[in-house]
A and B are shown apart, each in its own frame.
Chain A
Amino acid sequence: MYQSSKEFLKALYEDMEQPNQLEEEATPLTTKDVSSSATSHSRPGSKGIPVTSPKKNKLSLRVKLVNIFLLLLVPFVIYFGGKLTNRNYLAVSVMLLIIGMVPFFFAFEDRKPSAKELVLLAVLVGIAVVGRGIFFMLPQFKPMAAIVIISAVSLGAETGFLVGCLSALISNMFFSQGPWTPWQMFAFGMVGFVAGLIFHRRKQVSRLELSLFGFISIFLIYGLIMNPASVIMYTSDVTFGAVITSFVSGAPMDLIHGGSTAIFLFILADPFLKKLERIKQKHDII
């Protein structure tokens, strides 16, 4: 009787270990006992912040077909969108932004996320929105990008994109929607996506790396999208000079935004990521 229940427990724990097995192959465990599975990632003496890797979410056939269809749609949009109006840059770019965002949401819906995933996502977005609200008085000094990056590091590139996208959309519902909303959604989404791509597969990340990434990503990803966006939205002719000028005039704002993101990441990354890790391991999420 005792023997069988022990066997049962062992089988049960092995079942629970399965998701982590893929990446554990790289660091073979000497003892395959139960207690090591929960603590194998957090090495107490090391400097970095441990991050567990995900189960791989495979895209279903439906999502793949939709993605291929959207990809084929792109040349059509560029060709016909340019002919529809005399503001062809704006028309084409807004349509392309929407095409770029659809696959993420569609894949998320298709995955049929569990209640825990949904609520975790909502909490992260909520923290990002509240964070933007707290520092509302200081222009561009907002922790939103930092929280998006932290979520992406912990939960993966796709989730990072969703957190960025939704927090931009919802915080604009609180403050003000405008023609800039799709651009901001895509920009914050991309910040999260790239952060997830770079850091999520790693075993450990250091907070210095993260805050450096935060600073650079605001310039190279957020700035690269939002500065030309203002040119496309408000001027008639997209010229090289105008784009360069928008980058130069946007630089002080990007500097504050990037600096604040780096500061928030430097201070928050370590404790926040640990808390997320704890929740992930305790409740077996994503």
Chain B
Amino acid sequence: MNEQQKTSSKQDPFSKSHPFVNLFYFVCVIGVNMFLVHPIILGFSLIAASLYTARLHSWQSVFRQFFKFLLPSMMIVLFFNVLFNHNGETVLYRFSNGKPITLEAMVYGGLLSVVLAVTILWFRCYNQVMTSDKFIYLFGRILPASSLVISMVFRFVPKFSRQVTLVRQGQQALGRDVTDGTLKERLNHGFSIFLVMITWALENAIDTADSMKARGYGLSGRSSFSVYRLTRRDWWLLTILTSSFGYFMYTVVIGTFSMTYYPKVQLSVWPLTWTSATGMIAFFLLINLPVLLAYVEEAYFKRLRKQAKHHVRLPDYFKQ
């Protein structure tokens, strides 16, 4: 929640497009990133994820996250892989019980640690772009009751938090706050505040349900309103996404980006062929779409602003 409330300095037009476009993009990107362990694809993904995260937050926060959280967890993943994976033919070191450490396991473990880092960066973008209202809008069509529950929970969480403060103030006035008394008493006070909360929440739930029923919940023929519409830009984005993803998956399925790690690391993408080059371009387009869209929009607005300067003749008192 905190992250969502932070406003970034730059505009992100991709966040403002239709939720389905956003979800489709993230499913494609995170899916490819998690299931296709290929150094070139991963490299592209890492660059794109950092670019987009930096756009949504800042470069500073990307680096901070990288050194504080990602690098340590990457080391753990690498370590784990090297210790427990003994496939591969290039033996670097042999333990006393005969289990080897191999170069291939090291390469694959390293790549997997990059997968972890990039996935976490992508999920950071996801958390920023796919806000809960978009999620509920998308799943409201398929799972109406569950989505309603989710949206009610989003209402209840701040409501409960506020009620907890009220109950606590009431108990405080009676001298039964969580800071009063011995440790055992404090715990008791804490739990009794919690239980008062539960009673209130359950009774409140029944009120809400009655009010929903009174307003005709569950009757047939009711329509719903949403702020999202598939505009022409969304259709364009969808076309670009599906075509680039489709072409990229085609090149993957015919084996352009196949990769074997054991017993020996073999990359099938080098030397560059026509299909692998176009596949990479398609992937580049797919994965950088939000950032490219932002650049296009900025350029467009710059041009408009220039035109506006030419056309508008301001009266003298506006000129400085």
Cα(A89)–Cα(B145), bound, Å: 32
Interface residue? B63 (CB, 8 A): no
- Nearest B residue to A267 via CB reads B191
Interface residue? B66 (CB, 8 A): no
Stretch in contact with the other chain, from A35-43, A206-214, A216-224, A230-238: A230-238
**Residues of B with C-beta under 8 A to A108:** 145-146
Interface residue? B127 (CB, 8 A): yes
Contact of B208 among A105, A119, A170, A234 (CB under 8 A): A119
Interface residue? B149 (CB, 8 A): yes
Kindly provide the distance from the CB of A145 to the nearest chain B CB, expressed in whole angstroms: 16
Interface residue? B14 (CB, 8 A): no
Interface residue? B24 (CB, 8 A): no
Stretch in contact with the other chain, from A12-20, A45-53, A80-88: A80-88
From 96 to 148 in chain A, residues with beta carbon under 8 angstroms from any chain B beta carbon are: 105, 108-109, 112-116, 118-123, 125-127, 129-130, 133
Cα(A242)–Cα(B83), bound, Å: 9
Stretch in contact with the other chain, from B151-159, B285-293, B297-305: B151-159
- Nearest B residue to A263 via CB reads B187
Interface residue? A275 (CB, 8 A): yes
Q: Would A235 and B81 count as touching, CB distance under 8 A?
A: yes
Cα(A115)–Cα(B10), bound, Å: 42
**Residues of A with C-beta under 8 A to B202:** 120, 123, 275-276, 279
**Residues of B with C-beta under 8 A to A235:** 77, 80-81, 84-85, 109, 112
Q: Would B116 and A234 count as touching, CB distance under 8 A?
A: yes
Q: Would A119 and B146 count as touching, CB distance under 8 A?
A: no
Kindly provide the distance from the CB of A159 to the nearest chain B CB, expressed in whole angstroms: 11
Interface residue? B103 (CB, 8 A): no
Residue among B35, B37, B210, B217 with max Cβ neighbours from chain A (10 Å): B35
From 257 to 280 in chain A, residues with beta carbon under 8 angstroms from any chain B beta carbon are: 267-268, 271-272, 275-276, 279
Known: A116-B206, A118-B145. A126 touches B156 (CB 8 A): yes
Cα(A133)–Cα(B158), bound, Å: 11
Cα(A109)–Cα(B145), bound, Å: 6
A–B pairs, 14, beta carbons within 8 Å: A85-B37, A112-B218, A115-B218, A116-B209, A119-B152, A126-B153, A130-B157, A166-B149, A170-B154, A173-B127, A235-B85, A235-B112, A237-B84, A283-B206
Interface residue? A28 (CB, 8 A): no
Known: A108-B146, A115-B217, A122-B152. A239 touches B205 (CB 8 A): no
**Residues of A with C-beta under 8 A to B153:** 122, 125-126, 129, 166, 170
Q: Would B135 and A236 count as touching, CB distance under 8 A?
A: no
- Number of chain A residues whose Cβ lies closer than 8 Å to a Cβ of chain B: 54
Q: Would B148 and A118 count as touching, CB distance under 8 A?
A: yes
Q: Would A121 and B84 count as touching, CB distance under 8 A?
A: no
Known: A115-B217, A166-B146. A242 touches B157 (CB 8 A): no
Contact of B84 among A129, A133, A242, A272 (CB under 8 A): A242
Interface residue? B20 (CB, 8 A): no
**Residues of A with C-beta under 8 A to B198:** 127, 271-272, 275
**Residues of B with C-beta under 8 A to A109:** 143-146
8 new A-B contacts at CB < 8 Å, known A90-B35, A234-B113, A235-B80: A108-B146, A109-B144, A115-B208, A118-B149, A123-B205, A125-B149, A236-B81, A279-B203
Kindly provide the distance from the CB of B210 to the nearest chain A CB, expressed in whole angstroms: 8
Cα(A36)–Cα(B19), bound, Å: 54
**Residues of A with C-beta under 8 A to B123:** 176-179
Q: Would A85 and B35 count as touching, CB distance under 8 A?
A: yes
Known: A237-B87, A242-B84. A127 touches B160 (CB 8 A): yes
